[in-house]
Amino acid sequence: MYRRHFLTYSAALGAASLLPWGRHGFAAERPSLPIPAALAPDREGVIQLNVQAGEIHWRRQPTQSWGYNGHLLGPTLRARRGQTVRLQIHNQLMATTTVHWHGLEVPGTADGGPQATIAPGQQWRTSFQLAQPAATCWYHPHTHGQTGQQVAMGLAGLFIIDDDESERLPLPARWGIDDIPVVLQDKRLNAHDQIDYQLDVLSAAVGWFGDMMLTNGAEYPTHTAPRGWLRLRLLNGCNARTLKLATSDQRALYVIGSDGGLLAEPVKLSELALLPGERFEVMVDARNGKPFDLVSLPVQQIGMTLTPFDNTLPLLRIQPSLLNGQGSLPDSLATLPALPDWQGLPTRTLTLSMEPELDRQGMQALVDRHGQAAMAGMSMDHGAMTAPKQSADKMANMAGMDHSSMAAPKQSADKMAMDHSAMAAPKQSADKMANMAGMDHSVMAAPKQSAAEMANMAGMDHSAMAAPDTSPSADSLDLQNGNRINGQAFVMDSPQFAVKQGQTERWIISGEGDMMLHPFHIHGTRFRILTENGQPVAPHRAGWKDIVRIEGGRSEVLVRFDHLAPKERAYMAHCHLLEHEDTGMMLSFTVEA
């Protein structure tokens, strides 16, 4: 923050504190929104990041956490288009980690995927030149089989790219004042107030989800902002939860940017859905001086409909001050190139699938643990809407049914333009599903390495953390192979294909036959969406993206890779529902000259 901006803003806050709401209103009852510091290179031109253990107070006793250069989350890294960025990451944890620059178009050797491990006590040095336009990106771990757990512990931070073109626009630009970072994550704590993370059959099927919502690491904080246009940089940093954002007083959200940069023009919305890993830049008009909340609306996602997410949930209180804003909403933003003619382009198809037995046992575990309400109105085969108040016993008796004959959701024919002949279940499902009845759903095998990794968590209360369940079972699953792409679970040193550098390709990502949500992310590129889950792409999703929605249908994207990625540092393409990624729904590919 510039010194003169800070002094001017502090004076305005002092005057505002004389108003009734300044002392007795909502703002006084909640924490202030934490603003992550903008981290610049040191005297040697290097950005230093320490991956470290810490603690934070959310409940009665301190919760052990992880962060970058602090106790939780990390600083905001900022760099300019054309700048060479040099980074040095020191791993001070007792667990191996990586740091992936999500959304950055950098060579595979600098991407920070699962091959780029940093052992405890070791350092990783990397550098790259930024050639892409202004965007709100982020960084997080990408440790194979451990990404979900490490993000849940608190490892995430924003990475913002600036450029001359965006700075010529009259957008709000005072960091932490009217240019506001909003990192959204859900958490779940155990009886000892420690993060309750376990990669088990339930989380492998539907993802890890919490019952507490955090904004920049705080519960329902307040931000005192100028009376004018505000720019919110939104990140869904949840492991698995989709968010649907709105304002408490129905004021509009004007989307100005998506994952990979600014849109051509603002798009006015009343509600904005964010998939896990997605970013959107949104403008909100606060010129009337009235306070309002940014809220999360209920979503129909399996496992995510439990309290407090079954009702409108406030995330952030915006309290306008006496200080007048300086930015405005432009009519036009950036020039987006026209989509090329994709006819005749090289085409690849990636088919996402879940082991049917994992699917079945995961759904049963969900109902056993949380009740029928957690199914979001769907039956255990995901295909038919559940009758009201259907009992757990009845659901258990569905095990012997021929699920391929179950009716699809009534709206699917209208909403999904797909080839229904491709909706057949995986070939092996018929035999396995005939023998589903009578299984012990309470005992599942954890990934082989997870017990050793989790035993080395720095500073953690191991008596409080739930270890993966490794009890023997006649019908145990290898969770690391529970989710797949093109019939294969992730293999670290075995890229599935090679892409030619600079060649535009059309990728078809299919979730047909698998009704689970898959927010699909591709490393090393920004892409344009042709169709999304069988539907024409929405205007606010028609710009540069790096995550596309797959949920029972197929999506088509145009991709191009301008950097090389050798076998030993291949790029990843994977579901960004982190527990799906950790249990096999990921592939690697190389980029060759």
Give CA 340 to chain center in angstroms: 29
- Write out 388-439 in H/E/C secondary structure: CCCCHHHHHHHHHCCHHHCCCCCCHHHHCCCCHHHHCCCCCHHHHHHCCCCC
**Tens-digit pLDDT profile for the chain (593 aa)?**
333 343 334 333 333 333 333 333 344 478 999 999 999 888 888 999 999 999 999 999 999 999 999 999 999 999 999 999 999 999 999 999 999 999 999 999 999 999 999 999 999 999 999 999 999 999 999 999 999 999 999 999 999 999 999 999 999 999 999 999 999 999 999 999 999 999 999 999 999 999 999 999 999 999 999 999 999 999 999 999 999 999 999 999 999 999 999 999 999 999 999 999 999 999 999 999 999 999 999 999 999 999 999 999 999 999 999 989 899 999 999 999 999 888 889 999 999 999 999 999 999 999 999 999 999 877 666 655 443 333 333 333 333 333 333 333 334 333 333 333 333 334 344 333 333 333 333 333 334 344 334 434 434 443 334 444 433 343 578 999 999 999 999 999 999 999 999 999 999 999 999 889 999 999 999 999 999 999 999 999 999 999 999 999 999 999 999 999 999 999 999 999 999 999 999 999 999 99
Q: Is there a domain that residue 525 lies in? A: yes
Q: Is there a domain that residue 508 lies in? A: yes
Q: Say if pTM beats, i.e. exceeds, 0.95.
A: no
Residue 36 to residue 216: CA distance in whole angstroms:
8
DSSP state of 338: P
Residue type, 84: T
Enumerate the β-bridge partners of residue 184: 215, 236
By the 10 Å C-beta count (0-12 exposed, 13-18 middle, 19+ buried), 287 is classed as: middle
Residue type, 502: G
Q: Is there a domain that residue 416 lies in? A: no
Cα dihedral 391→397→399→401 (10° resolution): -110
- Check residue 342 and give its pLDDT: 86
Q: Is there a domain that residue 529 lies in? A: yes
Rounded to 5 degrees, what angle do the CA atoms 27, 33, 37 make?
150
Q: Is there a domain that residue 573 lies in? A: yes
| Residue that the structure tokens 């987006």 belong to | 336
Q: Is there a domain that residue 380 lies in? A: no
- Check residue 377 and give its pLDDT: 78
- Check residue 381 and give its pLDDT: 64
Residue 407 to residue 396: CA distance in whole angstroms:
18
Taking the CA atoms of the chain, what radius of gyration do you get in angstroms?
Answer: 23
Helix (H) or strand (E) holding 244: strand 243-247
Q: Is there a domain that residue 552 lies in? A: yes
Residue 302 to residue 483: CA distance in whole angstroms:
17
Q: What's the total number of domains in the chain?
A: 1
**In this structure, what CATH number is given to the domain that contains residue 530?**
2.60.40.420
Q: Domain span at residue 353?
A: 347-357+479-591
- 87: phi then psi, degrees, rounded to nearest 5: -130, 145
Q: Is there a domain that residue 208 lies in? A: no
Q: How many Cβ atoms sit within 10 Å of the Cβ of residue 340? A: 12
- Check residue 515 and give its pLDDT: 85
Look up residue 250 and give its two tokens: 């129905």
